[in-house]
Amino acid sequence: MTRNTALREGTPEGHDSPGDTGLAALAGRSIVLVGLMGAGKTAIGRRLAARIGLPFRDADAEIEQAAGCSIPELFARYGEPAFRDGERRVIRRLLGGERLVLATGGGAFIDPDIRAAIRREGVSIWLRCKLATLVRRVSGRSNRPLLAGGNAAEILARLMVERHPVYAEADVVVDCTDEHPEITTGRVMEKLMAWEPPRRLPVKLAGSAYDVVVGEGLLGRAGALLAPVLPQRRAVVVTDETVGKLHLESLLAGLAETAIEARTVSVPAGETSKSLESYAGVVNALLAAGVERRTTVVALGGGVVGDLAGFAAATTLRGLPFVQVPTSLLAQVDSSVGGKTGVNTAHGKNLVGAFHQPRMVLADTATLATLPVRELRAGYAEVVKAGLIGDADFFAWCERHGGDVVAGERDAQAEAILRACAFKAEVVGEDEREERPSDGRALLNLGHTFGHALEAEIGYGGILHGEAVAVGIGLAFRLSVRLGLCEAADAERVAGHFAQIGLPASLGELNRRFSAERLVAHMRRDKKVRDGALTFVLVRGIGQAFTSRDVPADSVMDLLREEGCGS
């Protein structure tokens, strides 16, 4: 199997390069200043354009020139709706031309169509001012139609309540005071020079599409990032007790910036919460919170929370919007992408669930700093799996940089997340519901037939999922060698890399006694079984995985006994 996903040294095509900041990150994009009247958009915009070397345009001046009259006259003759329509057309025209610095009117960014155009073509900067500053600047001016015949302080205070949550969606926020515009322009430049946009990976499916957004500090920007994709500014955050203590406050603050009203449901930490009983509890909590069909469920946590909350979202009111905010490396590269949700039962792992795609995945690399190194290693198993399935070059990248990922090197982690997710996004895009048993999404189960059996035998929580997958991958390679499909050197190379990272690759490394018959019995209850036959993902070499349903049972038993399993 050959994959051509731009999963090579570098980044997925069409995305910002890692580490691009400031003017490098602005390449090809205009700079758009937004904010209330009196914020200084024109004065600062002229100075900013001169410093950067771009043309400057004032949207209000362009509107007046196009209309042949002043904005107050436009309001008086045709009303605000006609003015907004003209404003929309002028801003689209300006953004569709050469790069520029654009100062917009106070109401422009409130328009969803204008906001979307700015996101596509530019970088938005909110000049945020205190009420007293704005009042001093606009009092007595006759060219402000919204202030006509009213009290400036009262009108501006009302506009702040209405518009600030929308302005908060801007890419950059700069607080402005009564200082000289030159000083404020300098601070805007400083912010621009330090600005690093999150990296986005589109996941395109037959009936939907969403972005995986990767970057540092995304929880605090959650509202700005999610507001464009949420059907209403109401959400219920599902988290667990451990993650909630670490990250819930930051997420709620980020949502509140854009006036997204959020309530919280918490479950105990650990795999035991991924049960039918916990699922029923979450559903009842959602209904008690008064969710509507447009209320979004936000999963904040690792794979357990994501699978549990996603299944609750898929089934409550026959389907609620859903967002993944994964906080573990395992969840960021695996369970948060692809739409699989579900819970475990006494009969096996993930046997009850649904396909339910998220509206967005926010992978904040800062959350990885709170993980124990054992969990980072476990998550890394799903990273390296992408290379082993279909991209030998990516596996070679892992051999060079895997230690940095596990050691907490932020750039290496972001790169690993993007590349692993890009691989999975392509596979999911071709086979969203795992309907192609030979070469589709089922390939993502490399190591999982063995791994799920280990989890069921040891007990959920007794072994981390990524550790079980690592052992399963090692077994899948050795089974492929036993069947004459793969060179022994490839299996040894994989086991050596896992050992370098600190992951187990064989049953013997788990220091437990296993029964071959019991492990195979668990495999037969796996959801991948078809017509009673076991399904294995095998390999012809690194990056050459395929699915097989005709593996001799004796070969599996012999391998397990070779690994030290008893009868």
The proportion of the chain whose per-residue pLDDT surpasses 70, expressed as a percent, equals 94
Is CATH 3.40.50.300 the right assignment for the domain spanning 22-194?
A: yes
CA dihedral 315, 316, 317, 322 (to 10 degrees): -90
- Secondary structure (DSSP) of 167-187: HTTSSEEEEE-SS-HHHHHHH
d(CA 14, CA 138): 43
* Gap between the Cα atoms of 465 and 374, Å rounded: 11
Q: How far apart are CA 507 and CA 564, in angstroms?
A: 8
The ranges of the chain with pLDDT < 70 are 1-22, 140, 142-143, 437-438, 527-532
In angstroms, rounded to a whole number, what is the distance separating the alpha carbons of residues 567 and 439?
Answer: 33
Mean pLDDT of all residues in the chain? 92
Q: At 254, list the tokens.
A: 């980020």
Q: What is the pLDDT of residue 142?
A: 61
- Annotate 120-167 with DSSP letters as a single string: HHEEEEEEEE-HHHHHHHHTT-SS-GGGTTS-HHHHHHHHHHHHHHHH
Cβ atoms 308, 278 nearer than 8 A = yes
SS3 assignment, position 332: helix
Q: Distance from CA of residue 9 to its chain's centroid?
A: 21
What class, spelled out in words, does domain 199-414 have in CATH? alpha beta
Identify how many contiguous H helices and E strands the chain contains and give both numbers.
23, 16
Distances (CA, A) of 171 to 105, 115, 122, 167, 480: 17, 11, 9, 9, 50
For residue 104 the two structure tokens come to: 């917009």
Residue numbers annotated as active site? 318, 340, 382, 424, 434, 441, 445, 448, 452, 465
Would you say the CATH fold of 199-414 matches that of 22-194?
A: yes
- Classified as helix, coil or strand, 296 is strand
pLDDT attached to residue 13 = 36
Per-residue pLDDT tens over the stretch 229-263: 999 999 999 999 999 999 999 999 999 999 999 99
Going by their DSSP bridges, the two strands 360-364 and 209-215 should be labelled as parallel
* Per-position b or e across 521-552, b if 16+ CB within 10 A of its CB: ebbeebbbeeeeebbbbbbebbbbbbbbeebe
> Per-domain residue ranges for the chain?
22-194, 199-414, 434-562
Return d(Cα 198, Cα 213) in angstroms, integer: 6
Tell me if 322 sits within 8 A of 308, measured CB to CB.
Answer: no
Q: What is the dihedral of CA 311, 313, 316, 317, to 10 degrees?
A: -140
Q: What is the pLDDT of residue 530?
A: 67
Q: How far is CA 276 from the centre of its chain?
A: 27
Q: Determine the Cα–Cα distance for residues 435 and 528; give it in Å rounded to an integer.
A: 11
H or E element that contains 384:
helix 373-390
What superfamily in CATH does domain 434-562 come from?
Dehydroquinate synthase-like - alpha domain (1.20.1090.10)
**Nearest-angstrom CA–CA distance, 121 and 59:** 15
Rounded CA separation 268/220 (Å): 24
Query: CB under 8 Å to 54, separation ≥6 — which residues?
Result: 30, 31, 99, 100, 101
Q: Strand pairing of 322-326 and 360-364?
A: parallel
Instruction: Identify the pLDDT of residue 459.
Output: 85
State how beta strands 545-548 and 536-539 pair.
Answer: antiparallel
For the question of whether the overall pTM of this predicted structure is more than 0.85, the answer is: yes
**The pLDDT of residue 55:** 98
Answer whether 388's CB lies under 8 Å from 494's CB: yes
Question: Residue 143 has what pLDDT?
Answer: 65
Predicted local distance difference test score (pLDDT) of residue 529: 67
* pLDDT score at 1: 40
